[in-house]
C-alpha cells in the first residue's frame, strides 16, 4: 500500500522522536491509520483516557514575541545609557537557557556579556556545551567588577523600561500570532478537554496577545502565583481550579524551564519546537514526555488518536 509522503510524515510527527519542520493540513485517512498501526514506529502518542487538562504556555506556543523581547531590552539598555547590539533570535534563545527565562536574570546576563565578552557573539556563547554555567560565571565576574548595588540599579532601570514597552500598544505591533494557535485551542475544547493558559507574563500582555482567551477555562499569569516557573505552582493551581488531577494534566511549553515546571507539578510535559526558546539539544537532554513541531500538530494528533479509536474497529491488521 502506497501512503502519501506528507501523510506519512504527519504520522511520524505523532511520535516523540520527530522534531522535523513539516507542516500538515489534514488528519490521516483510514489507510494512513492502518499503515501507522501495522508499522514498527513507537506508539508514543497520547493516552486520551489519561488526559483531562491541557495547560498551555503563551510565548513560543501561541504567540511569537522574539522581536518584541529584543526591542524591549534595547529600549531598556538605552534608558540606562548603554549600547545594545544583540541579535533578536539569539536573545530569544538566551531566555530558553534554563534559569534565564526569568527576565531579571536575562538582563543581568546581557549586561555581563556586553561588558566582559564584547568580542564574542551571543550565539557562540549559547552553542557552548556548558552555556548556562558559562553565563552564570560571567554574571558573577560582572557583579564583582561593578558591585552588587550598581548592577541591581542598572538592572532595575532596564527591567522597568522593558515592561513599559512590552505591555504598550506600540509593542503590540511587534507581536506575531503563531499560525493555527486559535484553531488548535478550539479543537482541544471541542474534543472535550479542559484548556488553561499559564504564563510567567503579566495578565494585560497575555490577554492582549491571546484575544480568544475567553473561550478557555482558566488563565493563570504572574499576578496569580507566588513562584514563577520553574515552579509548577501555576500548573497545580489551574488543575485545582478546574477539578482535574495533576497527574491527568499535560503542560505544553517551548523551553527547558517548562519541562522543569511540569516535573515540579507532577504532570506530563509536551514541548513544541518550531518557535521554541530552547535549542533541540537542550530539550532532548531534559527528556520531555512528548515533542511536537507546533500546537496545530498537537491538535491534529488528538483528532487522529480519537479517530483511530473508532477506525480500529473497522481496520483489519
Query: pTM value?
Result: 0.78
What does the block give as the cell for 4? 502519501
pLDDT of residue 268: 93
CATH architecture of residue range(s) 22-63+176-311: 3-Layer(aba) Sandwich (3.40)
DSSP string across 267-289: SEEEEE-TT-SS-HHHHHHH--S
- Digits of tens for pLDDT over the chain (317 positions)? 333 444 444 444 444 333 333 333 344 444 444 444 444 433 445 565 678 999 999 999 999 999 999 999 999 999 999 999 899 999 999 998 888 888 999 999 999 999 877 656 888 899 888 899 999 999 999 999 999 999 999 999 999 999 999 999 899 999 999 989 999 999 999 989 999 999 998 899 999 999 999 999 999 999 999 999 999 999 999 999 999 999 999 999 999 999 999 999 999 999 998 888 888 888 888 889 888 888 998 888 887 766 544 444 444 43
- Sheet containing strand 53-56, edge to edge, reads 218-220, 194-198, 53-56, 249-253, 268-272, 290-292
pLDDT of residue 117: 72
Three-class SS state of 162: helix
What is the Cα–Cα distance from 14 to 305, expressed in whole angstroms? 9
What does the block give as the cell for 307? 479517530
**Beta strand 218-220 pairing with 290-292:** unpaired
What is the Cα–Cα distance from 7 to 27, expressed in whole angstroms? 8
Could you tell me where the DSSP H helices lie in 64-199? 66-79, 88-95, 103-116, 122-126, 131-146, 148-166, 169-172, 181-190
Amino acid at each position: 500500500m502506497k501512503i502519501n509522503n506528507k501523510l506519512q510524515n504527519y504520522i511520524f510527527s505523532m511520535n516523540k522522536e520527530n522534531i522535523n519542520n513539516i507542516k500538515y493540513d489534514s488528519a490521516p485517512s483510514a489507510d494512513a491509520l492502518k499503515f501507522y498501526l501495522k508499522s514498527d514506529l513507537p506508539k508514543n502518542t497520547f493516552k486520551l483516557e489519561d488526559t483531562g487538562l491541557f495547560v498551555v504556555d503563551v510565548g513560543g506556543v501561541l504567540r511569537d514575541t522574539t522581536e518584541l523581547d529584543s526591542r524591549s531590552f534595547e529600549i531598556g539598555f538605552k534608558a540606562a545609557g548603554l549600547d545594545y547590539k544583540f541579535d533578536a533570535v539569539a536573545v530569544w534563545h538566551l531566555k530558553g537557557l534554563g534559569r534565564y527565562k526569568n527576565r531579571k536574570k536575562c538582563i543581568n546576563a546581557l549586561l555581563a556579556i556586553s561588558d566582559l565578552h564584547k568580542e564574542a557573539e551571543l550565539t557562540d556563547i549559547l552553542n557552548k556545551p556548558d552555556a548556562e554555567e558559562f553565563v552564570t560565571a560571567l554574571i558573577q565576574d560582572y557583579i564583582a567588577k561593578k558591585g552588587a548595588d550598581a548592577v541591581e540599579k542598572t538592572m532595575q532601570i532596564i527591567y522597568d523600561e522593558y515592561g513599559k514597552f512590552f505591555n504598550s500598544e506600540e509593542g503590540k505591533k511587534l507581536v506575531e500570532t503563531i499560525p493555527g494557535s486559535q484553531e488548535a485551542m478550539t479543537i482541544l475544547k471541542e474534543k472535550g478537554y479542559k484548556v488553561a493558559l499559564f504564563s510567567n507574563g503579566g495578565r494585560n500582555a497575555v490577554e492582549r496577545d491571546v484575544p480568544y482567551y475567553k473561550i478557555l477555562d482558566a488563565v493563570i499569569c504572574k499576578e496569580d502565583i507566588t513562584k514563577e516557573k520553574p515552579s509548577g505552582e501555576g500548573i497545580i493551581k489551574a488543575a485545582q481550579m478546574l477539578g482535574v488531577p495533576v497527574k491527568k494534566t499535560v503542560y505544553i511549553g517551548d523551553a527547558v524551564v517548562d519541562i522543569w515546571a511540569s516535573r515540579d507539578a507532577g504532570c506530563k510535559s509536551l514541548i513544541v519546537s518550531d518557535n521554541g526558546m530552547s535549542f533541540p539539544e537542550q530539550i532532548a537532554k531534559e527528556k520531555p514526555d512528548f515533542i511536537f513541531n507546533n500546537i496545530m500538530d498537537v491538535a491534529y494528533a488528538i483528532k487522529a488518536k480519537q479517530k483511530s479509536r473508532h477506525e480500529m474497529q473497522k481496520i483489519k491488521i
